[in-house]
A and B are shown apart, each in its own frame.
Chain A
């Protein structure tokens, strides 16, 4: 079985270059979780929470919502135990605002929600993007729109993550299909948030959130952690919070500490004060977009299964990828040349990776639990869009191997 990971789990956690980039430090001291090195049997939501604790989350504000509530529940117990803070807010709007503030003071921060709560977070999400605040937001997807179907899974928020907040911007969104990869993905989300000073969304579905399975917590230091890049400017010397270094990074100064500076959602100059100067605006608009979009290849991460000689390629992400993996695995025993590309980075869209994966394939089948939110992006990325098909379910049920085999037969011209 081929199980090639394109890029190590830590790929993209450090910028391409730059003299004084933040090193990776092992988890130590208060950042350890008390569960490191242990094997657990826990639901996906707990794996996500454990990943955040491993990464050193120091503040969590949230409002419980099915199917993400377990994350807040765990944080409410574990953070105070470590001397950190948990606040249950009055709603999701304030939850995201609270973690924006806490992040500025120097903490690694997180909130967790589901579609309806994520809708309420869109305004502050835009603020986090504009003010370049490291945030980790977990969206455990349930059926939508509106309150939809709280207890059933879906992948309907894929494009909301990308374009839910207004204005030109970019965002990083990661996903996973097993508890182990979800743990690693959550750690990676914190690393990317700190590296790029941006909100990072961890996006997965109810199925994984409530699926209990094995999770081995790595020892401290086993996974690299990126810590906050802080300014070396001493007290009494001018600190420019938004003066971009030549490596694209902006060292931070803990808010309320030795430097006084302004933070705003308006277009701003290097001091953080509002500006409508066309050059300033143009530079900032490109900066917040390019710092992510121009690194799409570097940020792209996926798992490949049997892709070397695949004639038909499945592309999937999140828990439906497990169904596709099962079908591919069984088909190989029968000599059918199927392969699977399981995306783990969904935004920025890994266009080159998708194009390369589909180049030699006769057909590509996109497997997802929505009306084709990733399908259309994949069609745009490949050389022959007419060879791309969609296999989906939107009824809240898990996609079964039978569902995929049926689509496979149709694609092969064998009828149902």
Chain B
């Protein structure tokens, strides 16, 4: 089983941090294999940014994402730049207000109000990256929720807000009634492949 995930947004949203946490969860908490890479260059706050994460039970040979099983987007600029990376029938998770889904795309689309929910709770919008990470983990099961929370605890020792943001992301998925997605043995996440993972 191999998951290829791209997370996109703009500089300052913590996109790369989210990718690092996801990879750390798989490697350190779960003892599996992951590679994480990122757009690297003279980037700035507000500029496009992206991280590629591959998670697998086996050693990963080719470290780049060609076609992503999932694209998670926190900004419309990133969505229009990276939507072509989603493999046909793949998954798209976006922030409802910052990156409205593009209906024409051949993929399963999930919109969640990550930033609105954080604002509603008067929580820091800076944790929106962790919020989407909670949703990604719950929706795909690519890493276990408990392990993701452990990784967050290690990285943000004693920061309850960080943990709360991850749980909020998970709750948004649960509340929406979407079932978790099962990745078939052939790596497809086709429309008819829905089956509850847990």
Indicate if the CB atoms of B40 and A322 lie closer than 8 Å.
no
The size of the chain B interface, using a CB distance under 8 A, is 22
Residues of B within 8 A of A402 (CB): 66
Complex-state Cα separation, A330 to B108, whole angstroms: 28
Selected from A213, A325, A329, the residue in CB contact (under 8 A) with B36 is A213
| Residue B34, interface by CB 8 Å | yes
Query: A140: shortest Cβ distance to chain B, in Å?
Result: 12
Selected from B28, B31, B36, the residue in CB contact (under 8 A) with A40 is B28
Taken residue by residue from 29 to 66, chain B's Cβ proximity to chain A (1 for < 8 Å, 0 otherwise) reads as: 00101111110111000000000000000001111101
Interface of chain B, helix or strand or loop or mixed? mixed
Indicate if the CB atoms of A41 and B62 lie closer than 8 Å.
no
Binds A, one of B19-27, B162-170, B180-188, B190-198: B19-27
Residues of B within 8 A of A214 (CB): 27, 33-34
Query: B126: shortest Cβ distance to chain A, in Å?
Result: 22
Indicate if the CB atoms of A323 and B62 lie closer than 8 Å.
yes
Selected from A41, A319, A326, the residue in CB contact (under 8 A) with B28 is A41
Selected from A39, A326, A398, the residue in CB contact (under 8 A) with B31 is A39
Residues of B within 8 A of A40 (CB): 27-28
Complex-state Cα separation, A214 to B24, whole angstroms: 9
Indicate if the CB atoms of A151 and B42 lie closer than 8 Å.
yes
Complex-state Cα separation, A211 to B26, whole angstroms: 15
Q: Known: A323-B62, A325-B61. Contact between A210 and B27, CB under 8 A?
A: no
Taken residue by residue from 181 to 223, chain A's Cβ proximity to chain B (1 for < 8 Å, 0 otherwise) reads as: 0000000000000000000000000110011111000000000
Selected from B31, B35, B61, B66, the residue in CB contact (under 8 A) with A212 is B35
Indicate if the CB atoms of A39 and B61 lie closer than 8 Å.
no
Selected from B28, B35, B41, the residue in CB contact (under 8 A) with A211 is B35
Query: A41: shortest Cβ distance to chain B, in Å?
Result: 4
| Residue A15, interface by CB 8 Å | no
Indicate if the CB atoms of A400 and B66 lie closer than 8 Å.
yes
Complex-state Cα separation, A220 to B20, whole angstroms: 28
| Residue A26, interface by CB 8 Å | no
| Residue A401, interface by CB 8 Å | yes
Indicate if the CB atoms of B27 and A326 lie closer than 8 Å.
no
Give chain A interface residues in 53-68, CB to chain B under 8 Å: 67
Complex-state Cα separation, A401 to B60, whole angstroms: 14
Indicate if the CB atoms of B63 and A39 lie closer than 8 Å.
no
Query: A35: shortest Cβ distance to chain B, in Å?
Result: 12
Complex-state Cα separation, A151 to B42, whole angstroms: 8
Complex-state Cα separation, A299 to B62, whole angstroms: 27
Indicate if the CB atoms of B60 and A212 lie closer than 8 Å.
no
Selected from B23, B37, B62, the residue in CB contact (under 8 A) with A326 is B62
Taken residue by residue from 364 to 404, chain A's Cβ proximity to chain B (1 for < 8 Å, 0 otherwise) reads as: 00000000000000000000000000000000001011100
Indicate if the CB atoms of A213 and B62 lie closer than 8 Å.
no
Residues of B within 8 A of A329 (CB): 61
* CB nearest neighbor in A for B51: A212
Q: Known: A41-B23, A151-B42, A210-B38. Contact between A322 and B63, CB under 8 A?
A: yes
Complex-state Cα separation, A326 to B56, whole angstroms: 15
Complex-state Cα separation, A214 to B54, whole angstroms: 12
Residues of A within 8 A of B66 (CB): 400-402
Complex-state Cα separation, A322 to B54, whole angstroms: 14
* Known interface pairs A151-B41, A206-B40, A322-B61; 9 further A-B residue pairs with C-beta atoms within 8 A, sorted by A's residue number: A40-B28, A41-B23, A207-B63, A212-B23, A213-B36, A319-B63, A329-B61, A401-B62, A401-B66
Q: Which 7 A-B pairs have the closest CB atoms?
A: A326-B62, A41-B27, A151-B41, A212-B36, A213-B35, A41-B24, A214-B27
Interface residues of A (CB under 8 A from B): 39-41, 67, 151-152, 206-207, 210-214, 319, 322-323, 325-326, 329, 398, 400-402
> What are 22 residue pairs bridging A and B, where the CB atoms are less than 8 Å apart in the complex?
A41-B24, A41-B26, A67-B40, A151-B41, A151-B42, A210-B37, A210-B40, A211-B36, A211-B37, A212-B34, A212-B35, A213-B33, A213-B36, A213-B60, A214-B27, A322-B63, A325-B61, A325-B62, A326-B61, A326-B62, A400-B64, A400-B66
